[in-house]
Structure 1
Amino acid sequence: MGKELNFFGHVVSPDIRMLYDMEGVLYDTEWFRTAKNTELYYMYRDMYENEKEHEEIKSQHLRYDITIIPPKMLGKEYVKTAGHYHPNVPGASTSYSEIYQVLEGEAEYLFQKMAGETVEDVVLIKAKAGDIVVVPPGYGHITINSSNKTLKMANWVCDDFSSMYHPIKERAGAAYYLLTSGYVPNPKYTKIPPIRYLKPTDASILGLVKGEDMYNLIDDLSKLDFLKNPQLYDEKFSKVLAKEI
């Protein structure tokens, strides 16, 4: 295939997101109708250094993934992920969280929170290599690569649930699209608030260190308990989206 990733000696093949998989979430539908199906980005799931660490990760109901997004234009729109939400923790009214780290390149993380059929909040975080970004409960999210460099990012997430793609697809994408002219609102949504531009997450809020490879959390996975039990960390999550630019 030629897209395998060597992770501590493990050669892993990706799940590949194809252009045609993105039908229904793109801005430039006219371009899409005549475009050829091509590979957009690569998802390497359930990564680990050795079997002992793999067993420890699984025992904690966690998963470490890497995603690689080469630069590309989808017609008038910058390449992006399909976007998804997380379900609620069983027995709780709080949805699962997720944490990302940019390993190479640059990323734009677009978060949105719904209140019924209305968009309650839209957040944009630009991140560079070493930056950490936490997706708090209640927010759907997509990742955009608007640079001319390949984006390589990692994430930790609880492995007890499946992401929900339909809420974004049924509205033809997120609340905003990123074009070369800037962000434009998606007319499928009503009463979209202005984008709030925030800094990357202060890693120390969650006991992490900016710039340090977050795979090293394998040495103390208790620091990732907020991914499994987000309902217990309201105070921490209230600080995650607090630092505006």
Structure 2
Amino acid sequence: MGNELNFFGHVVSPDIRMLYDMNGVLYDTEWFQTAKNTELYYMYRDMYRNEKEHEAIKSQHLRYDITIIPPQMLGKEYVKTAGHYHPNVPGASTSYSELYQVLEGEADYLFQKMNGETIEDVVCIKAIVEDIVVVPPGYGHVTINSSNKTLKMANWVCNDFSSMYQPIKEHAGAAYYLLKNGYVPNSKYTKIPAIRYLKPTDASILGLAKGEDMYNLINDLNKLDFLKNPHLYDTMYSKLLVK
């Protein structure tokens, strides 16, 4: 055992993403062939402060997670998550979304919207401590730690689905890889637009003060309804994708 995280006295052991779990989504495949299998990042699922709050979170079909990504290079590429998409809400043509907040360090959140083999849109949001980022429906996403500091981030998500990793894996990763000299496109996709750089989400749309810990949404979980019913919040999501 090791790497347990104490969250208000609730101690959780992580799911550990190993280097070999990333086979098929890395830029530097030559380096990967001889690299030692090492721990990359740590995922702490279903966090809560006390049992009353845990029951409230579960009753709303939500989950609060924390992920910790230490800095390192994967050959020529900065360390990143494996990347995934979300399925559609049952009975709707809109996929589930997700909400992130940086607790420590810095993050590059890379989103991509795909239509067949073509990428229609690529968005990058650079976030620092206290920043909030909403992943809109229809976008696959990867989180990258390109700093020399450990990235610790939290997320709120609906707990009614499993993430889909295959669409990104079958294209050898996301639309872009982040190397020391910047982003380079992934040739496995037919067409890739230029990256659009957007600012983090305005916390006020969630009823939070700037810099407020988003775990405080436990006090009014109805504010997270957009994670469970994204098809009812088209106007809100469209605003997130505009500079």
Same fold (TM over 0.5): yes
Query: What CA distance in whole angstroms lies between the structure 1 residues aligned with 2:92 and 2:217?
Result: 26
Query: What CA distance in whole angstroms lies between the structure 2 residues aligned with 1:228 and 1:85?
Result: 15
Aligned to 2:141: 141
Do residues 190 (structure 1) and 190 (structure 2) align?
Answer: yes
**Which SS does the other structure have where 2:6 is aligned?**
strand
Query: What CA distance in whole angstroms lies between the structure 1 residues aligned with 2:205 and 2:195?
Result: 23
Q: Structure 1, unaligned stretches of length 5 or more?
A: none
Query: What CA distance in whole angstroms lies between the structure 2 residues aligned with 1:162 and 1:180?
Result: 32
Cα deviation digits, residues 3-58 of structure 1 (max 9, x gap): 01010011110000000000000000000000000000000000000001000000
Instruction: Report the CA distance between 1:205 and its aligned residue.
Output: 2.3
Q: Map residues 50-65 of structure 1 onto 2, 5 A cutoff.
A: 50-65=50-65
Count matched residues: 243
What is the root-mean-square deviation in Å for CA atoms of aligned residues?
A: 0.7
Native 8 Å contact 1:105 1:149 kept in 2: yes
Do residues 2 (structure 1) and 2 (structure 2) align?
Answer: yes
* Structure 1: 4+ residue segments shifted above 2 A: 205-210
Query: What CA distance in whole angstroms lies between the structure 1 residues aligned with 2:169 and 2:208?
Result: 33
Query: What CA distance in whole angstroms lies between the structure 2 residues aligned with 1:125 and 1:241?
Result: 11
Q: Map residues 189-208 of structure 1 onto 2, 5 A cutoff.
A: 189-208=189-208
Instruction: Report the CA distance between 1:206 and its aligned residue.
Output: 3.0
Instruction: Report the CA distance between 1:168 and its aligned residue.
Output: 0.1
Q: Partner letter of residue 152 of structure 1?
A: K
Aligned to 1:231: 231
Instruction: Report the CA distance between 1:115 and its aligned residue.
Output: 1.6
Do residues 211 (structure 1) and 211 (structure 2) align?
Answer: yes
Native 8 Å contact 2:25 2:168 kept in 1: yes
Instruction: Report the CA distance between 1:117 and its aligned residue.
Output: 1.6
Q: Partner letter of residue 174 of structure 2?
A: A
Aligned to 1:123: 123
Q: Partner letter of residue 131 of structure 2?
A: D
Percent of counterpart pairs with the same letter? 87
**Which SS does the other structure have where 1:147 is aligned?**
coil
Aligned to 1:98: 98
Native 8 Å contact 1:205 1:239 kept in 2: no
Cα deviation digits, residues 201-240 of structure 1 (max 9, x gap): 1122233332100001000000000000000000000111
Which segment is superposed worse, 5-14 or 163-172? Answer: 5-14
Aligned to 2:156: 156
**Which SS does the other structure have where 1:3 is aligned?**
coil
